[in-house]
Amino acid sequence: MGLADGVVQSRWLARRAAAWIAGQRAAHRPLARPLDKDTMASLEPYFDSRTLAPVWVREVPRIDPPWALAMIDRVRELPLDFDYLWGITFVDTIVVATDSVSEEEQIPNVFHECVHVAQYTRLGLVGFMHRYLEEWVASGYSYWAIELERHAFELQQRFSAGAAPFSVEAEVVSHLEASL
């Protein structure tokens, strides 16, 4: 698929995806809880309190992937390797799959999703989805080509490696500006 096709498709997808995400947020939010004390204490050195305050988490055993299929029903093949679905962020509401994440990976997993919360805050819902899907579609549906994911993983790895506190929000802003 050429880049132009990808751009056209990603605009169409972004509108549908944004509506879908708003619906998912509304469905999961009543069943979610604020971050627990341990998670909050681990994340606070890296995030602005304004990012973390609205974040609620819903735990489920596993995450089924109907979203991507519903979103891209014109595409015949599975676009993602769904083993990757250990967490998904709907604006300020994170759904985590407890069965696919070990105990020690749970806080780094929430860290990763909170990077997406900071990205959503910066880009807005439609802006986030547009960027996310543009790169995904243009690359021929490669999860690892999505810069928003690559950056979330990079920061997650720094956190997991015990890096000195840094500002995720500042990193997100400078990364997004550099990749414009």
Catalog residues that contact Zn ion under the rule CB under 5 A.
149, 152
Q: In whole angstroms, what is the distance from residue 159 CA to residue 38 CA?
A: 15
Q: Please, are residues 152 and 175 in contact by the beta-carbon 8 Å criterion?
A: no
> What backbone phi and psi angles, to 5 degrees, belong to 95?
-105, 125
Minimum CB distance to Zn ion, residue 50 (Å): 21
Q: Please, are residues 129 and 21 in contact by the beta-carbon 8 Å criterion?
A: yes
Minimum CB distance to Zn ion, residue 12 (Å): 22
Nearer to Zn ion, 135 or 149 (CB): 149
The stretches of 29-146 forming alpha helices (DSSP H) are 37-43, 49-52, 66-71, 106-123, 125-138
Minimum CB distance to Zn ion, residue 112 (Å): 5
Nearer to Zn ion, 63 or 152 (CB): 152
